[in-house]
Amino acid sequence: MKKLIILLFKIILIAASISACSYPAAEDQPEPTPEALQTQQPQENTEVVRLTAQQAKGRIDSEEGIIIVDVRTQAEYDDAHIPGAILLPVDAIPADAESVIPDKEAVYFIYCRSGNRSATAAALLAEMGYQNIYDFGGIIDWPYELVGSSG
C-alpha cells in the first residue's frame, strides 16, 4: 500500500511539473497592440509566428505585400477562399513552393481548413528557408469575406 501511495505521489508530481511547463493557448494570451503586431517578426532561425484570424485580418488590411497562401485542396479552394489567396496545397509544397512562391523573404500568411495543414505547411516552408512565415490557422475561424462557389 505504501508503494502505491508513493507511486501515485510521483505521478501527481510529474503531471504537475508537465502542466507547469506548458505554454498558454493563443486565445489565453493578451491581444497584442497594433504596434507590436507590426514589429513581430519570425526570429533568425525562421520560427513560425502564430496569429489569430483577427490579427491576420488587421495586418492584411493595414500592410502591403502580405501574400496569403491557402494550403488546402483545389476543390476546397474553389468552394471558398480568402480574397487574394493563392493556392499551394500542403502536399505540393516540396515540389512546387519555389515556383509558386519564389521570394523566400516575402511575408506569407498561411491557412487551411482547421489549422492542422497550415501548421504543417508553415513548418515545411520554414525548413525550406522561407523567412517570414505566419500561420493563422483555419478558414473555419475566419469570420470575414470569402470568395468562391459557396463564399
Predicted structure pTM score? 0.71
Q: What are phi and psi of 136, to 5 degrees?
A: -110, 25
Which among 126, 139, 138, 134 has a CA at the least distance from the CA of 67? 134
Q: What is the largest CA-CA distance in the chain?
A: 67
Cα separation of 94 and 101, whole Å? 12
Cα-only R_g, the chain: 19
All domains in the chain, ordered by first residue:
26-141 (3.40.250.10)
Q: Is the pLDDT of residue 18 over 70?
A: no
Summarised one tens digit per residue, pLDDT across range 77-135 is 999 999 999 999 999 999 999 999 999 999 999 999 999 999 999 999 999 999 999 99
Cα separation of 36 and 112, whole Å? 25
Q: Which helix (H) or strand (E) holds 108?
A: strand 107-112
Return the pLDDT at 38: 47
All cell numbers assigned to 109: 500568411
Cα separation of 42 and 38, whole Å? 12
For 7, 14, 22, 26, 95, the CA distances from 18, given in Å and listed in that order, are 17, 6, 7, 18, 38
Report which of residues 150 and 124 the model is more confident about.
124
